[in-house]
Amino acid sequence: MPVALRSLRRLRLTATCALITALAASFTLESVIAQPAGSWQVAESVNIDTDGFAPALSPDGRWVAGLKDLDERQLCVWRVSTGEERCNGESERVADASIAWSPDSRQVAYSQNGHQLDSDVFVLDVRSNSLTNLTEDDVDDLKAANTASQFVIYDQWPAWSPDGTELAFIRILNPRDDEGQRQLSLARVILETGQVVRGPEMVTDEPLALVAETVGMITPLLWLEDGTVVFAIRGGRDITGVYTSDVISGLPARIETDPAIPVAKTPVLTGATAGGGRLTFYWLWEDIAIDDEFYRYGWFDRDSGELNPLVFDAPLGQAVAAPPRFSPDGTALVYGFSGDEATNRDSTILVQDIESGEALVVMEGVSLQLWEGVTGIEWTANDQLVLPLDDGSFEVVTLERT
């Protein structure tokens, strides 16, 4: 499909919305209509008319990376200013939530999708449109006769170091070992040399390994400014949770929260502040009980140990369309909910101040794809958002304080 671009200046967009789960929250729609002084609003929005999925906006706001075809799951990039599309014909099976931009906006990393097929970590050079497999192990089919009895390496969720010189990722040994357990470890690759640290020779007693029958990851890895990473995994009551680790030498440590929170619930880590002091999350499949109230979304303060559930006192039929993520400075959250649970239409995008708890509507009538529900709406350092609309187009939105 030819890519056309139209640039709009508006506060509201009209479309439809995709829903991921039911919700209950701390304010009403009526309470956010009164706009506080110094509030956020949309200054500009640019629509990229394409047929894509799972967009990720580059840090400089010039490019959007995403998927072009859900069958092939091919990686493409679009230039925001012109709508120019570049797809890499060698890319395939891209895991949509794994797409990660380098800090200098010149490269895109990703891992692959599928449980029966091998996954490697790739990097696309945006300028040359060239693709590099950083963790090639010559295995494609995990169920093939010649690999079914071997320790097959499955690499997922690349995360860039703050200086852009390395990638951290999660490495899983699959199939299970002689005791019926899988092994998960944190690894990293040095871009200049291609060296993989904690590579194929990984063994079960390696300090960074987590071993369980069902161990696995469902959320991105986050590399923080202090050199640590945070990630969420599932693997039974003794494994499931949110972890932090030093990428160089550290052992993984599960972040403990309120003892009333059942650790067996599956957490989905959606984002963090730059310093990692606050994390946003939701629980997959089930709510959690805190003080006899049930919640699903919220943020965690690692300094105080306080869990802050997002609770929406919204009208019947409202549902979360995009879970919360932080602003670059960590003082606000952006998220969305739909206005029609039956049709998933009429979504509202809100920005909520952390300290005051005040939330305000910045966009209404937005149509989000279901994929946006996985990791939420990313808020870049130049105050831009990218929204995937259900017609396949992308909306790049610039916010400003009034």
Q: What is the pLDDT of residues 304-316, one digit of tens each?
A: 878 787 766 555 5
Residues 359-372: what's their mean pLDDT? 80
Most confident of 36-50, 167-181, 384-398: 384-398
The burial of 75, by beta-carbon neighbours within 10 Å (0-12 exposed, 13-18 middle, 19 or more buried), is given as: buried
Query: What is the reported pLDDT for 179?
Result: 61
| Token representation of residue 382 | 């130049």
CATH assignment of 4-401, among 3.40.1710.10, 2.130.10.10, 3.30.1330.10, 3.40.630.30: 2.130.10.10
Query: What is the reported pLDDT for 151?
Result: 56
Residues 6 or more apart in contact with residue 393 via CB below 8 angstroms: 47, 48, 49, 50, 51, 52
Query: What is the reported pLDDT for 357?
Result: 82
pLDDT grade for 338, boundaries at 50, 70 and 90: confident
pLDDT grade for 171, boundaries at 50, 70 and 90: confident
Q: Is the pLDDT at 342 greater than 70, yes or no?
A: no
Least confident range from 11-15, 285-289, 388-392: namely 11-15
H-helix or E-strand spanning residue 29: helix 29-33
Residues 227-249: what's their mean pLDDT? 79
Least confident range from 17-21, 197-201, 331-335: namely 17-21
Q: With DSSP H G I counted as helix, E B as strand and the rest as coil, what are the percentages for the chain, rounded to 5?
A: 5, 45, 50
Query: What is the reported pLDDT for 155?
Result: 87
Whose CA is closest to 369, among 9, 54, 48, 41?
54
Q: Is the pLDDT at 13 greater than 50, yes or no?
A: no
Q: How far apart are the first and last CA of the chain?
A: 38
Query: What number of other Cβ atoms are within 10 A of residue 348's Cβ?
Result: 22
Least confident range from 43-52, 288-297, 342-351, 388-397: namely 288-297
pLDDT grade for 29, boundaries at 50, 70 and 90: very low
Instruction: Give percent of the chain with pLDDT exceeding 70.
Output: 66
Q: Is the pLDDT at 232 greater than 80, yes or no?
A: yes
Instruction: Give 72-80 contacts, CB < 8 A, sequence gap 24+.
Output: 73/113, 75/99, 75/108, 75/110, 75/124, 76/52, 77/108, 77/124, 77/126, 78/3, 78/48, 78/50, 78/52, 78/394, 80/46, 80/48, 80/396
96 SS3 class:
helix
Whose CA is closest to 362, among 392, 385, 391?
385
Residues 236-253: what's their mean pLDDT? 75
Q: Is the pLDDT at 276 greater than 80, yes or no?
A: yes
| CA pair distance 156, 146, nearest whole angstrom | 22
H-helix or E-strand spanning residue 79: strand 75-79
Least confident range from 198-202, 334-338, 366-370: namely 198-202
Q: Are 77 and 126 a contacting pair, CB within 8 Å?
A: yes
Instruction: Give percent of the chain with pLDDT exceeding 90.
Output: 28
Q: Is the pLDDT at 364 greater than 70, yes or no?
A: yes
pLDDT in tens, 72-123: 889 999 999 999 999 999 998 898 889 999 999 999 999 987 655 678 899 9
Average pLDDT, the chain: 75
Q: Are 111 and 120 a contacting pair, CB within 8 Å?
A: yes
62 SS3 class:
coil
User: Where along the chain do its domains lie?
Assistant: 4-401
Query: What is the reported pLDDT for 326?
Result: 92
pLDDT grade for 3, boundaries at 50, 70 and 90: very low
Q: How many Cα atoms sit within 13 Å of 146 on the Cβ side?
A: 4
160 SS3 class:
strand
Residues 151-175: what's their mean pLDDT? 84
Q: Is the pLDDT at 34 greater than 80, yes or no?
A: no
Whose CA is closest to 18, among 343, 331, 351?
343
pLDDT grade for 66, boundaries at 50, 70 and 90: very high
Q: Is the pLDDT at 215 greater than 70, yes or no?
A: no
375 SS3 class:
helix
